């Protein structure tokens, strides 16, 4: 069969010179029928190869049995092989210009063998029957800026495990796949839990294929291949379908900045640095060469692929700083651009191109940047000079806040501005407030263990911290285990310590977060004006001596809440606070009183005693290390 009559040559021309954002429809292994014969069409880009052969179980890995044809003079090789079907294991054997022969996995493979095996597997992604039509229709009109977004971040393999600490390789802690639940099994446990806990999004650490468990998925070898550790692509589709049925959006963590150096992956793919060559000094990876049209098409197609084939609702882009800067935002400066600067102009252009295309196709998407520098306009539209994301992780807020809670309360007054400073730049970008996986590993301690104080004070502080996050402007993200007060740091080879819920203090922490999350999803003042300065007002930002902060969150001039946070163990029988309007007020949520959201709290009538710039004030009891949310009684007008 003449391969040139089978391949879309115009599409391949666009891959090299223009935009081909569905390149996955052409490259890789596709089950098709040609001239009455069923088989698989293979297509791979290897411009510097002298020859390419397809090898696999079907030809006993004989590199002479199935040579591929050079389809174009731009280095695309292809072949149609009849009588091959799904489940076949294969690789490309690439003969390089310098006389070497190297085995490579398919960059566009849809499925892979379970590591440590590294071959690609033929898979048809179009057989799953989705049932999320209502979700897909509803999300077309989704406005994230005026909606509650409460994200539960998790590592799928260690959220829950069948067997704790069972390794294939003790030295490298490669977890035996039999320890994992697969995508379908985990769906039956995870989705009801998310619903019960009032999270409305999940963000999953990278699920693309990666060889080393200890990379957590951030060193990728198969960008279009969802990891086989947890089952097949259809199993993952089932998990996402179940999330959507429960009203839960799905965000993928994605790593477009750099790729893994493993021999079967993208490094020196055709004997040359085809996909990129700059070494990351800390990560042991290679940076993508964003100047190449083929690389940009590969990556942007990958992002579109997740939306198209897996119905995801958003992407968190990892390591944006390393894309924006030639030297990864680090102190050493070996690389310079043509103007002598350290900005990666092609990386910048790639991010803009990516976001423009995603929002053109998927206007409902969450596109969140993990960007750790002070790069301006990350969440501004491209036509306004921005990078085009709609959200950025608020890393400065996270660092300041966690530094603050680690302090002895006696000394917190000296760092009072670690809490107030975030509002100085609170509306410079659209922010997500993250307490992520990165903060509970490598000796940093778990979230609760960071908190200063006795065992009981740590729980009080964790509740206070959670209330501060929920009531601060910005969308919310918490890593698994935060919600139950797990003291042990996260380990990718051990599950969340669910047994802790047998202890009342941990179960109370879970119930607290459940109630607080519910309040967040149902209280408009906590999300309607997240990105509008009119949605926040300090009541008292200057109470340094008592380390007490108070502020308003507003959805309108009539609908608002007062928040009071006491970051010392000192209690007050009567604490006076200024209130916005004359009327009756009650505590609608208290970090110390179970049930935390108590509709039976008594109303307190305001007094005409000016305070905090208001004409009215109220007096309420305020416990040590306690947070209160106060709301005015609604007046029903006839």
Collapse the DSSP code of 553 into the 3-class scheme (helix H, G, I; strand E, B; otherwise coil) and give the result.
strand
**What's the rounded Cα separation, in Å, for the pair 120 and 109?**
6
**What's the rounded Cα separation, in Å, for the pair 614 and 580?**
6
Tokens 């400065």 belong to residue: 396
Contact yes or no for 379/509 (Cβ under 8 A) = no
In DSSP terms, which residues pair with 540 in a beta bridge? 550
**Among 287, 285, 322, 199, which residue's Cα sits nearest to residue 250?**
199
CA torsion 338→341→344→345, rounded to 10°?
Answer: -60
**What's the rounded Cα separation, in Å, for the pair 587 and 568?**
20
Contact yes or no for 632/588 (Cβ under 8 A) = no
In DSSP terms, which residues pair with 562 in a beta bridge? 552, 630
**What's the rounded Cα separation, in Å, for the pair 300 and 280?**
22
Contacts of 346 (CB under 8 A, 6+ apart): 289, 290, 291
Six token digits for residue 248: 């839960």
Cα-Cα-Cα-Cα dihedral sign, residues 419, 423, 424, 427: positive
Label residue 381 exposed, middle or buried (CB < 10 Å: 0-12, 13-18, 19+).
Answer: middle
- Within 392-485, residue ranges assigned H as helices are 395-405, 417-420, 447-450, 455-471
From the candidates 370, 429, 523, 626, give the one annotated as an active-site residue: 370
In DSSP terms, which residues pair with 93 in a beta bridge? 53, 103
* Catalytic site includes residue 370: yes
Contact yes or no for 582/574 (Cβ under 8 A) = no
Tokens 């049932």 belong to residue: 131
Contact yes or no for 45/7 (Cβ under 8 A) = no
**What's the rounded Cα separation, in Å, for the pair 252 and 308?**
13
**Among 466, 493, 391, 403, which residue's Cα sits nearest to residue 439?**
403
Contact yes or no for 544/416 (Cβ under 8 A) = yes
Is residue 11 within a helix (H) or strand (E), and if so which, with residue range? Answer: helix 9-17
Is residue 616 within a helix (H) or strand (E), and if so which, with residue range? Answer: strand 616-622
89-95 vs 76-82, strand pairing mode:
unpaired
User: 293-310 and 345-361 helices cross at what angle (nearest 10)?
Assistant: 30
Looking at the chain, the number of H-run helices and the number of E-run strands are 13, 31
* Catalytic site includes residue 429: no
User: 455-471 and 504-522 helices cross at what angle (nearest 10)?
Assistant: 10
**What's the rounded Cα separation, in Å, for the pair 455 and 269?**
54
From the candidates 318, 438, 439, 523, give the one annotated as an active-site residue: 318
Contact yes or no for 400/418 (Cβ under 8 A) = yes
**What's the rounded Cα separation, in Å, for the pair 213 and 205?**
12
**How many Cα atoms occupy the beta-carbon half-sphere of 596 within 13 Å?**
24
User: Which active-site residues does the annotation give?
Assistant: 318, 370
């Amino acid at each position: 069969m003449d391969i040139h009559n089978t391949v879309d040559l115009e599409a391949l021309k666009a891959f090299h010179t223009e935009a081909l954002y569905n390149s996955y429809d052409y490259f890789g292994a596709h089950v098709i029928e040609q001239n009455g014969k069923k088989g698989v069409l293979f297509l791979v880009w290897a411009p510097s190869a002298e020859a390419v052969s397809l090898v696999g179980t079907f030809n006993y890995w004989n590199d002479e049995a199935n040579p591929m044809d050079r389809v174009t003079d731009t280095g695309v090789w292809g072949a149609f092989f009849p009588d091959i079907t799904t489940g076949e294991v294969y690789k490309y054997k690439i003969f390089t210009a310098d006389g070497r022969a190297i085995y490579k996995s398919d960059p566009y493979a849809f499925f892979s063998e379970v590591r440590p095996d590294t071959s690609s597997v033929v898979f048809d992604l179009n057989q799953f029957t989705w049932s999320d039509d209502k979700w897909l229709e509803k999300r077309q009109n989704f406005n994230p800026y005026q909606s509650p977004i409460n994200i539960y971040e998790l590592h799928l393999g260690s959220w829950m495990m069948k067997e704790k600490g069972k390794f294939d390789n003790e030295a490298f802690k490669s977890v035996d796949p039999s320890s994992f639940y697969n995508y379908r099994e985990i769906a039956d446990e995870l989705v009801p839990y998310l619903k019960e806990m009032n999270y409305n999004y999940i963000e999953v650490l990278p699920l693309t294929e990666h060889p080393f468990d200890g990379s957590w998925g951030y060193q990728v070898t198969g960008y279009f291949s969802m990891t086989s550790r947890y089952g097949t692509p259809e199993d993952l589709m089932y998990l996402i379908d179940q999330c959507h049925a429960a009203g839960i959006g799905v965000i993928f963590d994605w790593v477009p900045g750099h790729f893994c150096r493993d021999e079967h992956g993208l490094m020196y793919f055709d004997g040359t640095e085809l996909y990129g060559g700059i070494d990351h000094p800390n990560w042991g990876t290679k940076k993508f060469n964003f100047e190449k049209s083929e690389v940009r098409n590969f990556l942007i197609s990958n992002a579109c692929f997740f939306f198209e084939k897996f119905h995801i609702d958003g992407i968190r882009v990892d390591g944006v700083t390393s894309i924006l800067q030639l030297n990864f935002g680090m102190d050493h400066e070996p690389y310079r651009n043509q103007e002598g600067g350290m900005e990666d102009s092609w990386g910048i252009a790639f991010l803009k191109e990516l976001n423009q295309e995603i929002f053109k196709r998927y206007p409902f998407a969450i596109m969140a940047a993990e960007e750790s520098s002070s790069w301006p306009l990350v969440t501004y539209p491209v036509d306004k000079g921005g990078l085009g994301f709609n959200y950025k992780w608020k890393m400065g807020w996270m660092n300041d806040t966690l530094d603050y809670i680690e302090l002895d309360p006696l000394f917190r007054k000296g760092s009072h501005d670690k809490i107030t400073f975030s509002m100085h730049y609170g509306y410079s970008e659209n922010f997500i407030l993250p307490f992520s996986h990165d903060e509970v590993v490598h000796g940093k301690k778990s979230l609760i263990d960071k908190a200063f104080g006795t065992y009981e004070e740590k729980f009080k502080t964790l509740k206070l911290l959670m209330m501060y996050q929920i009531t601060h402007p910005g969308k919310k993200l918490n890593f698994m285990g935060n919600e139950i007060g797990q003291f042990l740091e996260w380990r990718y080879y051990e599950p969340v310590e669910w047994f802790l819920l047998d202890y009342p203090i941990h179960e109370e922490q879970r119930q607290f977060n459940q109630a607080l999350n519910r309040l967040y999803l149902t209280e408009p003042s906590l999300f309607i004006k997240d990105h509008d300065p009119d949605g926040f007002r300090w009541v008292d930002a200057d109470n340094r001596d008592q380390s007490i902060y108070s502020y308003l969150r507003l959805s309108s001039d009539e609908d608002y809440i007062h928040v009071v946070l006491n970051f010392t163990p000192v209690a007050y029988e009567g604490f006076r606070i200024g209130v916005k309007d004359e009327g009756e007020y009650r505590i609608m949520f208290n970090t110390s009183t179970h049930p935390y959201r108590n509709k039976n709290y008594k109303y307190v009538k305001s007094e005409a005693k000016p305070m905090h710039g208001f004409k009215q004030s109220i007096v309420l009891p305020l416990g040590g290390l306690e947070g209160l949310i106060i709301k005015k009684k609604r007046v029903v007008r006839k």
